[in-house]
């Protein structure tokens, strides 16, 4: 499969482009509004083009969209209209109506569309969901980094920036992944930057029924940290690096009242979650699998509800 890439930010350069090649596919062209040298470093034979030229290229089978958040849906719709399969960075959409528009466009074009939540392709998340912990009662998630550059897209409210959109979407995804459905109730407390208008700290709570809860903290101006701990009726488990997972990770599990020093560490075989995501996307696209954005819709709906609860 030949890919075109829209946007050439850090994730596209350091993760997705290498993953596409490692998965056995080709990069035909890269689209950028600010192309540098005609030749793209590290991609011999690949040239810069405009976004429009990428979509018009008859050799391009699929497009990976790595643009700022507010451009995800407009260019996804244009790519589908051009009859390209689409892998779009998260958050794919900023409203539920946008998700529905993309679903309809994918069905109309008969092309496959997928949101790029790479974590769902990492075996540590599958193990976490499958461990015999009993009925889940509590999930705690932390994800933060420190970025104080006012020009960075993550700190631009007009571009869909902010902690909740950028990394809070992972916490929401995790809840829907673990509990199997959208939460019944949500609550968010957020702190906005005085000048930028983006949320830089956000404390959230998602609830399922009366006795299952996920609490999260995400921040763009705190020490770099990430972690997930899940507590069930019979045991607990944790992921030390749940989102930016290195090649080698382990899942810690403790059962029947055991303390942390008694936890078992399940070492997993090395895996690149971006490569696995590309392989899964390409396989479903080539097989003609119909697009199902129900999970993306649930994530978007929950994020919108959280923002509403905090008055964002």
Task: Name the residues annotated as catalytic.
Answer: 90, 170
Candidates 285, 265, 283, 281; CA nearest to 273 is 281
CA 116 from chain centre, in angstroms, equals: 5
SS3 44: coil
In the DSSP assignment, the letter for residue 289 is P
Angle at 33 between CA 30 and CA 36, to 5 degrees: 70
CB 212 within 8 A of CB 231: no
Instruction: Give the other-Cβ count within 10 Å of 55's Cβ.
Output: 22
Collapsed DSSP state (helix, strand, coil) of residue 206:
strand
The burial of 292, by beta-carbon neighbours within 10 Å (0-12 exposed, 13-18 middle, 19 or more buried), is given as middle
């Amino acid at each position: 499969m030949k890919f075109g890439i829209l946007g050439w930010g850090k994730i596209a350069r350091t993760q997705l482009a290498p993953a596409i090649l490692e998965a056995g596919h080709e990069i035909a062209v890269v689209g950028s509004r600010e192309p540098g040298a005609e030749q793209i470093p590290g991609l011999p034979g690949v040239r810069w083009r405009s976004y429009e030229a990428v979509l018009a290229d008859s050799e391009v089978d699929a497009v990976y969209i790595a643009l700022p958040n507010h451009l995800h849906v407009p260019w996804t719709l244009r790519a589908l209209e051009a009859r390209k399969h689409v892998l779009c960075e998260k958050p794919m959409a900023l409203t539920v109506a946008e998700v529905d528009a993309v679903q309809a466009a994918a069905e109309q074009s008969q092309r496959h569309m997928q949101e790029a939540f790479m974590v769902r392709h990492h075996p540590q998340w599958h193990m976490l969901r499958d461990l015999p912990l009993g009925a889940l009662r509590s999930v705690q998630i932390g994800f933060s980094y420190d970025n104080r550059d006012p020009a960075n897209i993550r700190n631009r409210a007009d571009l869909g920036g902010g902690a909740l959109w950028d990394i809070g979407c992972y916490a929401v995804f995790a809840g829907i992944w673990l509990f199997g459905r959208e939460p019944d109730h949500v609550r968010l407390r957020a702190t906005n930057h005085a000048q930028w208008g983006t949320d830089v700290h956000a404390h959230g709570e998602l609830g399922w029924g009366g006795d299952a809860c996920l609490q999260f903290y995400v921040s763009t101006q705190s020490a770099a940290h990430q972690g997930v701990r899940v507590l069930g009726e019979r045991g607990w488990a944790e992921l030390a690096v749940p989102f930016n997972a290195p090649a080698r990770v382990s899942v810690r599990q403790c059962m029947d009242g055991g303390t942390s020093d008694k936890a078992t560490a399940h070492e997993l075989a090395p895996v690149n979650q971006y490569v696995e995501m590309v392989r899964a996307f390409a396989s479903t696209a080539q097989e003609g699998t119909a697009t199902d954005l129900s999970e993306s819709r649930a994530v978007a709906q929950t994020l919108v509800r959280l923002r509403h609860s905090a008055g964002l």
